[in-house]
């Protein structure tokens, strides 16, 4: 009887130790952190484009008008 109880105790201890080791591993955290960081950057870029989208479009258009090699378009500084 003692031999069986020792084996059961070793089996339970080994299973508990294995479960604790699996719960403490941190292998997949880097990938998740990079994915969250990439998502946050994407949301920030989309938010900036929504907020300043028309201003950026107007600025790009004005820059395009200033780069006129025939000098037919007046170019005024400012935004």
75 within some domain: no
Indicate whether 77 belongs to any domain: no
Q: Are 61 and 37 in contact, with CB atoms under 8 Å apart?
A: no
Nearest to 79 by CA among 61, 70, 67, 69: 61
**Torsion sign across C-alpha atoms 32, 33, 34, 36:** positive
Q: Residues 11-40: pLDDT tens digits?
A: 788 887 877 777 676 666 678 888 999 999
Domain of 58 in residue numbering reads as 2-66
- The verdict on residue 45 lying in a domain is yes
Q: Is residue 78 part of a domain?
A: no
Long-range contacts of 40-45 (CB under 8 A, 24+ apart): none
Q: pTM surpassing 0.85?
A: no
Tokens of 48: 């900036």
Residue 60 has pLDDT above 70, yes or no: yes
Residue 20 falls inside a structural domain = yes
């Amino acid at each position: 009887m003692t031999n069986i109880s020792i084996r059961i105790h070793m089996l339970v201890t080994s299973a508990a130790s294995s479960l604790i080791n699996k719960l403490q591993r941190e292998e997949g955290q880097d990938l998740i952190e990079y994915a969250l960081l990439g998502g946050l950057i994407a949301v920030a870029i989309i938010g900036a484009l929504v907020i300043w989208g028309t201003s950026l479009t107007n600025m790009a258009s004005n820059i395009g008008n200033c780069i006129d090699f025939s000098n037919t378009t007046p170019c005024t500084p400012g935004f």
